[in-house]
Homo-oligomer: A and B are copies of this chain.
């Protein structure tokens, strides 16, 4: 390699990132295809290519040339701009972690993920936890092993949490969830003492075609650029960036007798897509492109889904369109009925269909379980039993089978251990962002008019444009001028319950 200067090292750094972005584009589209268009028996074939590609990512990320460039730039950090410094920091951090994981095990893990995804789908369909158990054991074991390789001094589950949120740990979460439980459980009790609300407005017969029309309408309404954001259907909705923030896909699932499911799924994934596509132009094809952490990501998706999407103003705004789209079902209905229906709070089995109030309890259960498995206090084989026990304890309901229980989520099969808490944190961050946003934006008035640009502008300027330039804590401090405080979220939930149930 020729002698390094700041100039050529920076160019090399950009070239390496572009190459990594291309490999990741390839891997992401293979995964996206697997979830959308691929024939059923082709997972192994994708696994072969994914393992080759992930090996290339590993090699490129850890090559002597890459290391030399990163270390050179790291030594010269005072001469670099903030963006380059952050790229170097994140890449060196990944590199040092990766170097501690033997390549063979890293590649084997990529293959395990492909197989696990496939088996989990079939196990869920058959409601057969035993089918999935050996893979889930391997997934937890591998995560424990990797945690030990990378941070032997750290608690293995804290290591997992840090994959999704720098600096997060069990202590913080135990407190956070404790606070939520203390406040949500009494709210649920109050609700159970008054008559349940009527949510019949959401039910009827809604063709895929019309639901798709609704999905595109919602995507446009919240301000997504359909030239760069695509929509497909999958069993489990998700958002994925392909190559850069110039190509983002969201997915949804149409439930034939309930248009509300896909409606809020689209707004949720749409929130992710707004965040992803909102990265500053010069972040494309760098490691700073996209969102900074899953919690901030969820703060955006759940901000659009719940804080905006389940507001009275939003129900008022979209109702005329809904009425026109589904005249047979909605001609004698009102926006107010919709507002009540989409805010009905009731303990239920499925996290993704849970209401805003009980949602965090679903997350808490997963947090408790994966924390205990990672600590060796719970065996994978006992997960279904414990799952069902906690659903009874926190939500008061019986789980009829594993399909509606421990097999319901795709996260563990995708290796996302430590991810779940992001959902609950995201909810709480979102409520605090809202309070700040309201200082300068008349949020309800904007929603009522369907004018999302002032809201999106605030999010873009304060959050989206920075991609991964700042840590979640930095983003929170920059935006809020203060630390995170879950009280905003508690207050928000309490007010919503009062508005819907009068208690």
Q: Is A46 an interface residue (CB 8 A)?
A: yes
Q: Is A285 an interface residue (CB 8 A)?
A: yes
Q: Which residue of B lies closest to A245 (CB)?
A: B45
Among B18, B36, B49, B244, contact of A26 (Cβ-Cβ < 8 Å): B49
B244 with A22: CB separation less than 8 A? no
Give the distance in Å from the alpha carbon of A49 to the alpha carbon of B243 in the complex. Answer: 7
Q: Is A29 an interface residue (CB 8 A)?
A: yes
B residues within 8 A CB of A48?
A: 18, 21-22, 243-244, 285
B residues within 8 A CB of A285?
A: 48
B243 with A38: CB separation less than 8 A? no
Q: For chain A, which range describes its interface: under 10, 10 to 19, 20 to 34, or 35 or more residues?
A: 35 or more
Among B21, B36, B39, B40, contact of A49 (Cβ-Cβ < 8 Å): B21
A246 with B21: CB separation less than 8 A? no
Min CB distance A232 to B, Å, is 6
Q: A22-B53, A30-B29, A49-B25 are in contact. Are A39 and B230 (CB under 8 A)?
A: yes
Q: Mark A283-324, 1 if CB is under 8 A from B, else 0.
A: 001000000000000000000000000000000000000000
Q: Is A451 an interface residue (CB 8 A)?
A: no
Q: Is A502 an interface residue (CB 8 A)?
A: no
A229 with B18: CB separation less than 8 A? no
Q: Which residue of B lies closest to A52 (CB)?
A: B22
B246 with A45: CB separation less than 8 A? yes
Q: Mark A1-43, 1 if CB is under 8 A from B, else 0.
A: 0000000000000000011011101100110110011111110
Residues A197-228 near B (CB distance < 8 A): 225-228
B residues within 8 A CB of A246?
A: 41-42, 44-45
B residues within 8 A CB of A41?
A: 225, 227-228, 246
B45 with A243: CB separation less than 8 A? yes
A46 with B247: CB separation less than 8 A? yes
Give the distance in Å from the alpha carbon of A229 to the alpha carbon of B41 in the complex. Answer: 9
A37 with B243: CB separation less than 8 A? no
Q: Is A344 an interface residue (CB 8 A)?
A: no
A242 with B45: CB separation less than 8 A? yes
Give the distance in Å from the alpha carbon of A104 to the alpha carbon of B33 in the complex. Answer: 30
Min CB distance A142 to B, Å, is 22
Give the distance in Å from the alpha carbon of A44 to the alpha carbon of B245 in the complex. Answer: 12
Q: Mark A234-266, 1 if CB is under 8 A from B, else 0.
A: 000000001110110100000000000000000
Q: Which residue of B lies closest to A54 (CB)?
A: B22
Q: A29-B30, A52-B18 are in contact. Are A39 and B247 (CB under 8 A)?
A: yes
Min CB distance A405 to B, Å, is 29
A247 with B26: CB separation less than 8 A? no
Specify which of A18, A38, A243, A285 lies most central, judged by the most chain B CB atoms within 10 Å of its CB.
A243
B residues within 8 A CB of A243?
A: 45-46, 48-49
Give the distance in Å from the alpha carbon of A495 to the alpha carbon of B21 in the complex. Answer: 57
B residues within 8 A CB of A36?
A: 37
Give the distance in Å from the alpha carbon of A30 to the alpha carbon of B432 in the complex. Answer: 40
Residues A40-94 near B (CB distance < 8 A): 40-42, 44-46, 48-49, 52-53, 56
A39 with B244: CB separation less than 8 A? no
Q: Which residue of B lies closest to A38 (CB)?
A: B230
Among B23, B42, B227, contact of A247 (Cβ-Cβ < 8 Å): B42
B39 with A37: CB separation less than 8 A? no
Among B22, B29, B226, contact of A29 (Cβ-Cβ < 8 Å): B29
Min CB distance A36 to B, Å, is 7
Give the distance in Å from the alpha carbon of A22 to the alpha carbon of B55 in the complex. Answer: 11
B residues within 8 A CB of A230?
A: 37-39, 42
Q: Which residues of A contact B (CB under 8 A)?
A: 18-19, 21-23, 25-26, 29-30, 32-33, 36-42, 44-46, 48-49, 52-53, 56, 225-230, 232, 242-244, 246-247, 249, 285
Contacts A39-B249, A40-B227, A41-B228 aside, 13 further interface pairs with beta carbons under 8 A come to A18-B52, A19-B52, A26-B49, A26-B53, A36-B37, A38-B230, A39-B226, A39-B230, A39-B247, A42-B228, A42-B242, A42-B246, A46-B242
Query: Which A-B residue pairs are the 9 nearest by beta carbons?
Result: A41-B227, A26-B26, A22-B52, A22-B49, A45-B246, A42-B247, A25-B49, A39-B230, A45-B247
